[in-house]
Amino acid sequence: MDKVKKPDSRAKLMQGNEACSEGAIAAGCRFFAGYPITPASEIAEHLSVRLPQVDGTFIQMEDEIASMGAIIGASLAGAKSMTATSGPGFSLMQENLGYACLAEVPCVVVDVMRGGPSTGLPTNPAQGDVMQARWGTHGDHPIIALSASSVLECFTMTVKAFNFAEKYRTPVILLLDEVVAHMREKVILPGPEGVEIIDRVRPSVPPEWYLPYEDTSYGVPPMGIFGEGYRYHVTGLIHDIRGFPTLRQDEIEPFLARLFRKISTHFEDIQMVERYQIEDADLVIIAYGCVARSAHRAMVEARAQGLKVGLLKLATLWPFPRRSIEPLIKAGKVLLVPEMNMGQISREVRRVNQGMTPVLALNKIDGTIISPKEILAKIKEER
């Protein structure tokens, strides 16, 4: 007689926003400041309960501007910190986000995208904040922006976001969408032993010798913690290696170049993609977020009908993983980019492509998801 398999006691039915919150806790987040906004509010609600249980701090702020300022301050004081918002709130955070980029303050910003612009479609899915994540704050600066397409990935990519923030002393953006944030799936979250945790590098010299913005072989200076004797100047102005404002050309350009170098020399670590049946594919779908789920199903159905279709799922959106796309272009594969906007990633794919191979777009902006049926119809249209 066959034995009945017992259900895994670790399995949980969990919402994407809840998994994101648990990922933050697992990564060591101990400070959250935010303002409620659909469809991200559950992250704040969940952390308002969970953070006090792990000796963390939750603060509901008066607005998103203050929320971003609070997590910067908490990070400078040594806490791994996070905020969560949606499009309108993300717009308000941009000035302080630029401050965090320049002052090299690690923190995580979760943006659960919804239809826009302005107040837009508060409860409907969209992917319209991709370019805002890259260019929303002014000036030249690098940024790391990640994506998730499942409830489990909401957990794992939140952990990744914190690790990248700490490792490279930079704010990291996690772009979810309403579908991924609100859907529920059965998940088995890894235990503490299964979660890689990276902490910022601390100074190895006495406070009086400490140079908070010195160059290193890695491009990332150690970060002193306020309250531990490492008191230093933090400013949004271009600054020297001690943190004080400068107008010297021999200090300005090396500093800004280092901000880019600490990201550009580590693309192999930061740029994450998943490949599905690409080797023999004539057409490759490039997708992210909830659309990647529809794309995967469309790929399976296309293969069942004898069509050679593959999928490149983007987990890292910025820095844009062009090195994963260039081999597809050189092989002459047709590229199809479905997304819930007017073509933000497809525009980037075309920039890399430079007219070498057909790049097709499937765009939807009516507040509904792109279905596998729609992607499959687009594939057949081009065969």
Alpha-carbon distance of 283 to 381, in angstroms, equals 12
CB 33 within 8 A of CB 25: no
Alpha-carbon distance of 95 to 236, in angstroms, equals 10
Confidence of residue 23 (pLDDT cuts 50, 70, 90): very high
Partner residues linked to 335 by β-bridges: 284, 359
Return the pLDDT at 328. Answer: 97
CA separation (Å) from 36 to 15, 59, 60, 200? 17, 11, 8, 29
In this prediction, residues 261-266 reach a mean pLDDT of 97
CA neighbor of 68 nearest in space, from 41, 36, 45, 97: 97
- pLDDT beyond 90 at 10: no
What is the pTM assigned to this prediction?
0.96
Confidence of residue 184 (pLDDT cuts 50, 70, 90): very high
Return the pLDDT at 283. Answer: 98
Of 5 and 197, which is predicted with more confidence? 197
Fold of 274-382: Rossmann fold (3.40.50)
User: What is the domain partition of the chain in residue ranges?
Assistant: 11-194, 274-382
Per-residue pLDDT of 294-319, as tens digits, reads 999 999 999 999 999 999 999 999 99
Return the pLDDT at 382. Answer: 75
- pLDDT beyond 80 at 383: no
Instruction: Tell me the HSE value of 56 on the side-chain side, using a 13 A CA sphere.
Output: 29
3-class state of residue 315 by DSSP: coil
Alpha-carbon distance of 88 to 35, in angstroms, equals 11
- pLDDT beyond 60 at 1: no
Domain spanning 11-194: CATH 3.20.20.10: no
| % of residues, the chain, pLDDT over 90 | 96
Confidence of residue 9 (pLDDT cuts 50, 70, 90): low
Asked whether the domain spanning 274-382 has the same topology as the one spanning 11-194, the reply is: yes
Q: What's at 65, amino acid-wise?
A: I
Return the pLDDT at 367. Answer: 95
Return the pLDDT at 231. Answer: 87
Return the pLDDT at 7. Answer: 60
Confidence of residue 39 (pLDDT cuts 50, 70, 90): very high
Return the pLDDT at 272. Answer: 98
Return the pLDDT at 379. Answer: 97
In this prediction, residues 128-138 reach a mean pLDDT of 97
CA angle 124/125/131 to nearest 5° reads 130
Beta strands 309-314; 273-276: pairing state: antiparallel
For all residues of the chain together, what is the average pLDDT?
96
Per-residue pLDDT of 335-378, as tens digits, reads 999 999 999 999 999 999 999 999 999 999 999 999 999 999 99
- pLDDT beyond 70 at 4: no
Confidence of residue 332 (pLDDT cuts 50, 70, 90): very high
Which secondary-structure segment (H or E) carries 28? Answer: none
In this prediction, residues 260-273 reach a mean pLDDT of 97
CB 233 within 8 A of CB 244: yes
